[in-house]
Chain A
């Protein structure tokens, strides 16, 4: 079976927990990790007579996200009850949005700095607000007879984002999710923590297979239980191969069987069919009489749009245009988040060299953060001070390897580049001193001179170590240049 014998068609459904302090319709805390059933009240446990009231912040965060996803904002939106019975849903219905979601018809552009996928827009069908359900736990291994229900999560605000089936490979699906997560982080609407369930992904996938009788589509499968982007990519890859095999065996087309739900098993690396709950697919939506509609004016939309700030795609373009960075470099920097980008921008501006700033930021700053397991805000060497060092590198007052020593000393002190250089005895070696040193070295190494003259310029590299012993401040690059020039004339 060859990879190109069919098209994979993928649509994603993402649930994002919004960063509010309280729940969507009541004042209970949304904080993760509290002891079970300590964050509930009559509203979120569905007690008769209780009345939900919409959290303003949740609506604003939803609006902000929808705008960043280039969605149309509905001037009128309402809330509906999605009815089903499940032990983790105390009301017997979930408050969601059915026929009039607050936003629809947007897009998110995906690209790949390594150029493996073509940049293009993935359509967004809709983004709507809804409340989360509780958590049911069952320990089969412990032989538990009952399931345990924790309702802390019940009523937590979620934004459901539904993409069009526009992705054509597992890699594209992963690129979409990575870009979406970065966008949500920039917007500060969610912490996107998959382990804590703040970001959940379901995927719909099927194949379009060309046959002599025209193109056919295989039955759509929904995949659940993927708890990392890598798992999404692997599950989709597995599922595509599985569907192709099933099609070869059975010839089943879309519509021949009902839509199937399969769960991803991360350990076994396979998807498994889940029990079919045909009867539960009838949710009997109807407008929730407890909640009044929301109207959004054009002025509100304009204000929210103006407050979005610079988003990842625009930032990448700006970094590339302003500083001449490659798409790869701009992507690494933008992926560090807002604070990281701010750091880079100050470093680039104060040092006056964007490419140099990019190298130092990516290699030295990021490496130090990883080593010290800290965030950029906690890094004591602020960009203005580091820029002082970069200026000296730029002005060839110090070579890169010695500058790294200075960087290390600056990172653990509040000293300026000049102060550290003075302490370490780093002074610029003037040109005449350097020429003198080169003459000495060449005179003592006739073999190297011969090599250079025969075109093996690299041989001069052996002189750097010797030169550093005599004077640790020599700039290796300049030393090489002078040696090569002098040797040719010998």
Chain B
């Protein structure tokens, strides 16, 4: 089973990650092993098991619509590699 190199390349593009050919080779191998391991679950017969949307069997957890204090801006921006005291700065986003 495993994964193909093309699949890993596609996923890395979606995740905006860039790899060298050697890294891709290694990741295809490693990710493939993980997928194979999870694939073990497919051996179970789930014919009569109802699919579930959540592992915990509870529903309807809400909070009231109340405003609570947000974080101070300088603390929030302190986490960013680049900022101008007001906004995060990122490489140019052009078009839409």
Contacts and interface: CB of A to CB of B under 8 A. Distances in A.
Contacts of B49: none
B55 A289 contact: yes
Nearest to A26: B68
B94 interface: yes
Contact of B96 (A20, A56, A58, A263): A263
Interface stretch (B12-20, B21-29, B32-40): B12-20
Interface in A6-45: 20-22, 26-29, 35-42, 45
A443 interface: no
A371 interface: no
Interface in A286-304: 287, 289, 291-295
B94 A36 contact: no
A22 B65 contact: yes
Interface in A54-97: 54-59, 76, 78, 83-88
B1 interface: no
B66 A36 contact: no
A249 B92 CA distance: 36
B44 interface: no
A146 B92 contact: yes
A138 B88 contact: no
Contact of B93 (A76, A138, A263): A138
Contact of A147 (B10, B16, B90, B96): B90
Contacts of B56: 292
A15 to B, nearest CB: 15
B54 A287 contact: yes
A38 B67 CA distance: 13
Interface residues of B, number: 39
Contacts of B64: 56-57
Interface in B82-96: 82, 84, 86-96
B60 interface: yes
B42 interface: no
A88 to B, nearest CB: 8
Contacts of A26: 68
B41 interface: no
Interface of B: 10, 13-16, 53-56, 58-71, 73, 76-77, 82, 84, 86-96
21 contacts: A21-B65, A21-B67, A27-B63, A27-B67, A28-B67, A28-B68, A35-B86, A54-B62, A58-B65, A85-B16, A88-B93, A146-B90, A147-B89, A147-B93, A148-B89, A150-B86, A275-B95, A280-B14, A291-B61, A292-B56, A293-B53
